[in-house]
Amino acid sequence: MNEQNTKISDDLTKRAVQVQRGGARAAVLGVNDGLVSTLCLVVGMAAAGASNHIVLTAGLAGLLAGAISMAAGEWISVRSQVELFEGVLDDLKHLIKREPEYLKHQLSHKLAHLGMVHETAHSVVEDVAKDNDNFLALYSAQVIGMNSNELGSPWRAAGLSFALFTVGSLAPLASWFFIGGHVAVIISIIVTALCGLFIGGFIARLSGKHIPAGALRQLLIILGSAAVTYGIGLLFGVAIH
């Protein structure tokens, strides 16, 4: 039982770290955007009457543009987040030097509020405060709610976004390498829907939510997006002809 509890605790820690680093968000957004945006692109163009070659070319162009855009956006987002966190930590470091007693009092009060005996909390804080780095880490985690050792990696987030957007885009594009027409449209929708079910269920499982509900939500988003863009493509096709 102790080993199981340890494993659960470690898993929770890893999940929290991934969220703060930005990797989890980059992964989810990357693969989901790749699936939905590329499916909408190829289905809409096919409905408008574009040839198989044009649909595939547009899909590949959308894949490349989307992957680069997602990677750049995630890099900027996470880099900005890290800089904001670093600014908070720099201010906290200066405050530790100027007002250590005030910060120790705040941390002791926080630990006591969480259930620790006041005398024990005071003793713990006094011991930790002997090392500024340890005090910074504990204070930022308990009082500010930020893990100073896991601020996030812009390059990791950008790389994940690029790779997973590409992987997500290949699902609706795959059939167009071999066939075309209505058959390729149907296969694209089916493959993308299956991938969406898996991703929705996986996200729900990681977040502790109801798996079927998460999978169904993702499926409805994909089918709704495909239906709208197919309808718009038909309208444009009629107008052009």
10-residue averages of pLDDT along the chain (241 residues):
51 51 61 90 90 92 93 88 84 85 86 84 85 83 74 82 91 91 91 89 77 89 90 70 39
144 token code pair: 């500010």
Residue carrying structure tokens 């989307």: 66
Cβ neighbours for 17, distance < 8 A, ≥ 6 positions apart: 147, 150
44 token code pair: 């809409």
Q: What is the pLDDT of residue 237?
A: 64
Q: What is the pLDDT of residue 38?
A: 94
34 token code pair: 């790749």
Q: What is the pLDDT of residue 113?
A: 83
Q: What is the pLDDT of residue 132?
A: 83
- Name the residue type at position 43: V
**Measured between alpha carbons, how far is 123 from 109 in angstroms, rounded to an integer?**
12
**Measured between alpha carbons, how far is 66 from 35 in angstroms, rounded to an integer?**
11
Q: What is the pLDDT of residue 42?
A: 93
Of the candidates 44, 66, 69, the one whose C-alpha atom is nearest the C-alpha of residue 55 is 44
Q: What share of the chain is helix, strand, coil (3-state, %, to 5)?
A: 85, 0, 15
> What is residue 208's DSSP assignment?
T
Of the candidates 189, 217, 224, the one whose C-alpha atom is nearest the C-alpha of residue 203 is 217
- Name the residue type at position 107: L
Count helices and strands (H / E) in the chain.
9, 0
Q: Do the beta carbons of residue 169 and residue 67 sit within 8 Å? A: yes
Q: What is the pLDDT of residue 56?
A: 93
**Measured between alpha carbons, how far is 153 from 78 in angstroms, rounded to an integer?**
7
Q: What is the pLDDT of residue 176?
A: 93
Q: Do the beta carbons of residue 68 and residue 167 sit within 8 Å? A: no
Cβ neighbours for 105, distance < 8 A, ≥ 6 positions apart: none
Q: What is the pLDDT of residue 97?
A: 85
- Name the residue type at position 171: A
**Measured between alpha carbons, how far is 13 from 85 in angstroms, rounded to an integer?**
19
